[in-house]
Amino acid sequence: MSTTTARLVNHQCRLAARPVGAPRPEDWQFTTEPVADAGPGGLVLQVLAISLDPAMRGWMNEGRSYIAPVGLGEVMRAGGIGRVIASGHADFAVGDLVSGLTGVQEYLVLPAERIAQAGLARIDLALGSVPQWLNVLGMPGMTAYFGLIEVGLPKAGETLVVSGAAGAVGQTVGQLARLRGLRVVGIAGGPAKCDWVVRELGFDACIDYKAPAPAGATRWDPVREGLKRHCPAGVDVYFDNVGGEILDTVLTRINPRARIVICGAISQYNATGPVAGPRNYLSLLVNRARMEGMVVFDYADRYHLAIAEMAGYLKDGRMKSREDVVEGGVAAFPSTLPRLFSGENFGKLVLKIAD
């Protein structure tokens, strides 16, 4: 069944220039164009919401990476949720809700030959809300699940530390680790976030990396002091989302055979100089420890298994999720994305495009 798209207009946000440092308003271009017919076997989606993720900053850069950069003039890449409004494809019906790479735009037109590369999959709102399908049941949740289980190799009784603990990936990592019997210590910015991950998510402790120095302190490193207090027996698994000084500090506290999961380095993404690498990497040698990067797309053939498990946790209350949903549609994208890098967002950052 097909629905006409002849009168629909698509508003899009395109990459106009490669940012130097933090993205600026002039790095974006807004365009308007009619919504085309997708042709035989194609699909047209109305985009409902998009996921704003730290990885977007890397996608804007030119150079070799795990995925091709967004081209200048192209619609900015983004994962999202959409509703099928026109379909000539046997696997998708008008009205279906789907997740996939929608881009920062109001409509996605997919000719038959492009459907596979969009990674579309139907979603079931009985398992979670649209924002949750961009969080714990979406790419951040898959990152947390496979990064922890496949790379972190958690064992009951061990101590896990996760940075960015109140963010999309961090909140799920900590809860999964608790469900597997680990002691969980988060690192987050500000007392409100730290209080939330302990009281609401069940972390054993949370270190506020922004904590002010106590009176009389001459040398103050809140992460170092927090690790001494909350990880007296050392760190067995570190799930790193921020890089930089925090990664360096945690490396001084790891145990023999520790596993460090390199998921992201949000503290470095807007750097205009060389990326700050770990100065304390010799701790890996001394402790026979392992540091390994992970990219979630490597596990795409098993997403359904992680979704089924974590949907069960959401349903029975053993897992919670928090989303920071911003209104404003496509036009709000340039002003909303920087919230990821300032720490202004509280939970998974989602941009609402349509009802």
With a cut of 50, which residues of the chain have pLDDT below it? 1-2
Tell me the per-residue pLDDT of 234-262, one tens digit each, with 9 for 90 and over: 999 999 999 999 999 999 999 999 999 99
Would the pTM of this model clear 0.75, i.e. be above it? yes
Contacts for 130 with CB less than 8 Å, ≥ 6 apart: 48, 49, 81, 97
What's residue 2's pLDDT? 47
| Cα–Cα dist 49/330, whole Å | 10
Q: The dihedral of CA 121, 169, 150, 265: what is its sign? A: positive
CA separation (Å) from 63 to 18, 68, 118? 11, 8, 22
| Cα–Cα dist 133/16, whole Å | 29
What's residue 64's pLDDT? 83
What's residue 4's pLDDT? 65
* Structural element, H or E, at residue 31: strand 28-34
Q: Is 90 exposed, middle or buried (0-12, 13-18, 19+ CB in 10 A)?
A: exposed
Contacts for 185 with CB less than 8 Å, ≥ 6 apart: 159, 160, 161, 162, 203, 204, 205, 206, 207, 226, 227, 230, 231
What's residue 3's pLDDT? 56
Q: Is 346 exposed, middle or buried (0-12, 13-18, 19+ CB in 10 A)?
A: middle
DSSP three-state, residue 284: helix
| Cα–Cα dist 171/350, whole Å | 15
